[in-house]
Amino acid sequence: MKVIVSQRVGLQPGEPAYEARVPDIDVLQYLELPLDNFCRYFGRSEDAANDLLLVAGSIYLIDQIVPRSIFEDRWTRELEVELPAADPDLWSANAELLVATCSFLTGDAWSFTFTKQERRVFGRPYRNLRRKPVGRVAAVSLFSGGLDSFIGATNWLATNDGRLALMGHYDLGSSAKAVQGRIAQRLGIEYPNRLPLIQARVGGTLKLQEGKSIYTQVTDSQKEPTFRSRSLIFLALGLYAARRLSVNEPIPLLIPENGFIALNPPLTSSRLGSCSTRTAHPMFLQYFRNLVAQLGITNQVLNPLGHLTKGETIQQAVDFNTASELARHTVSCAHPSRRQPWLRRDKNNCGYCIPCILRRAAMHRVGLDDGQDYGIDICAGELELDDNKASDLRAVLNWLYEARIGEFNPGLEATTMALPDSERLVARHVLESGVTEVAQFFKDKAKPYILDWAGLNE
């Protein structure tokens, strides 16, 4: 399926500079990039990081506007993407690396061609914007508002003297911007004047039903709910900031994600391969590092929590007091806005998605778990196992059962999954410890009939 991303002409102030067309399904969408904000923060410099931001943003948008359901296996999309770039020859020379990166991340068959970008990104005359300088920083850390990114930030601040820029990403309909702001503000009380927060929205636009605005041209289409590419745009945003905030000496970009979630082992056969998200998977990060190095971007991309389970990230937090005090304000939930079925709608996390279950197991490991902090307490019997909402809970319990009878073998999994060879010993530790961590949580907290499902009553 052909997708054409192109620069727009005749722009008015504040309008998006790029559009994506999918002729086969008659879809038009505009790509919102944080160009005005970035101009305020970083000025008008342009280099390979600009191209990376456009490419990653386009992939993120395409991932949402092309539904998997229209393809033969209802999953694997064949996508031929045409993109503008300031240096199309450089991108064409590294197209295979880009394909490997995207295919591993999303599970689709991508191909890319690049055309010459006709105009500079920051070339429009109306962009006479007031600067908002961030100041000197020693590193940039991706900041989602989740527990791992929060602990990654506190660890860095507790062991370094410099300033850490937090890079947050959000999209339409998400509460992430507010969550990131609240947690950064609280963290800033503990580490004053050391935490500039940069937030950026990347994604599609809303269709307006009336008027002559360009937004009336946006096509109503089925939004693909399984999009896997968010980490690509998150990393591109982080690298853009890191490049601009330290021109002479490359500063590192941190993507704090615990090793168990990074590996994301399939809990059921239906979650094999790309059906499991690969946000910070070691193989994806290796592909991404190789790609950006070939583009001439020399900033290190590091996951400081990749060797730990989620419980270990809390247990080994350098500033444990701050981590334990503020952890409950973080949001790990996969769907924090779907609160209608929650018993406690004033809470931040649902309690029954896989990220919430792993979060509770981690908090339990360090004595901080309380089922009343969640919309639904799965261990107290507030969610029936045959409920549609319990699909993730059933998957976790089945996985624990398979681990108990030997059908899920952490050592074998670490040997056979797609990983750089240097990561296999770490992966084995993370998988073995992860099984123990989650199993212990259920043994200590869950009702007997839940333990029966997982075979943990024996």
pLDDT at 273 over 80: no
pLDDT for the residue numbered 268: 65
Does residue 212 surpass a pLDDT of 70? no
Q: Per-residue pLDDT tens for 424-456? A: 999 999 999 999 999 999 999 999 999 999 999
- The closest alpha carbon to 279, from 295, 256, 299, belongs to 256
Query: In which band, very low, low, confident or very high, does the pLDDT at 338 lie, cut at 50, 70 and 90?
Result: confident
Of the candidates 370, 313, 373, the one whose C-alpha atom is nearest the C-alpha of residue 151 is 313
pLDDT at 387 over 80: yes
The model's pLDDT over 35-69, given as tens digits with 9 standing for 90+, comes to: 888 888 988 888 899 999 999 999 999 999 999 99
Residue 271: predicted pLDDT: 45
Tokens of 175: 């509460």
Question: What distances in angstroms separate CA 162 from CA 140, 235, 245, 247, one per listed residue?
Answer: 11, 21, 13, 17
Q: Report domain extents, the chain.
A: 332-454
pLDDT (0 to 100) of residue 127: 55
Average pLDDT, integer, range 242-260? 94
Question: What is the mean pLDDT of the segment spanning 211-232?
Answer: 80
- Predicted confidence band at 266 (pLDDT cuts at 50, 70, 90)? confident
* Residues forming a β-bridge with 18: 7, 31
- Tell me, what's the pLDDT at 240? 96
User: How confident is the model over 138-184, as pLDDT tens digits?
Assistant: 999 999 999 999 999 999 999 999 999 999 999 887 789 999 999 99
Residue predicted with more confidence, 126 or 163 = 163
Provide mean pLDDT across the span 320-328: 94
Q: How confident is the model at residue 209 (pLDDT cuts 50, 70, 90)?
A: low
The whole-number pLDDT of residue 206 equals 82
Q: Which secondary structure element, helix H or strand E, spans residue 112, and what is its range?
A: strand 109-116
User: What are the E-state strand segments in 295-447?
Assistant: 301-302
**Of all residues in the chain, what percent carry a pLDDT higher than 90?**
78
Q: Rounded distance, CA 355 to CA 264, Å?
A: 10
Arithmetic mean of pLDDT, 213-229 = 80
Tell me if 172 sits within 8 A of 206, measured CB to CB: yes
Which pair of tokens denotes residue 191?
A: 């580490």
pLDDT attached to residue 125? 52
Whether 363 has a pLDDT exceeding 90, the answer reads yes
The overall average pLDDT reported for the chain is: 91
Euclidean distance between CA atoms 412 and 428, whole angstroms = 8
The predicted pLDDT at position 216 comes to 81
Q: What integer is the mean pLDDT of 260-287? A: 77
3 state SS for 49-103: HHHHHHHHHHHHHHHHHCCHHHCCCCCCCEEEEEEEECCHHHHHHCHHHHHHHHH
Tell me which DSSP letter residue 25 carries.
G
Average the pLDDT over 268-279 and give the result: 57
CA distance 26 to 163: 47
Nearest-angstrom CA–CA distance, 255 and 101: 17
Using CA atoms, how far apart are residues 1 and 423, in angstroms rounded to an integer? 36
Structure confidence at residue 124 (pLDDT):
61
Residue 218 has pLDDT above 50, yes or no: yes
Percent of all residues in the chain with a pLDDT value above 70, rounded to a whole number? 95
The pLDDT, as a whole number, for residue 133 is 85
Return the pLDDT at 383.
Answer: 95
> Rounded to whole angstroms, how far apart are CA atoms 448 and 428?
30
79-120 pLDDT, tens digit per residue, is 999 999 999 999 999 999 999 999 999 999 999 999 999 888
Closest CA to 315 of 364, 371, 265, 377: 364
pLDDT at 122: 74
Contact 348, 333 (CB under 8 A): yes
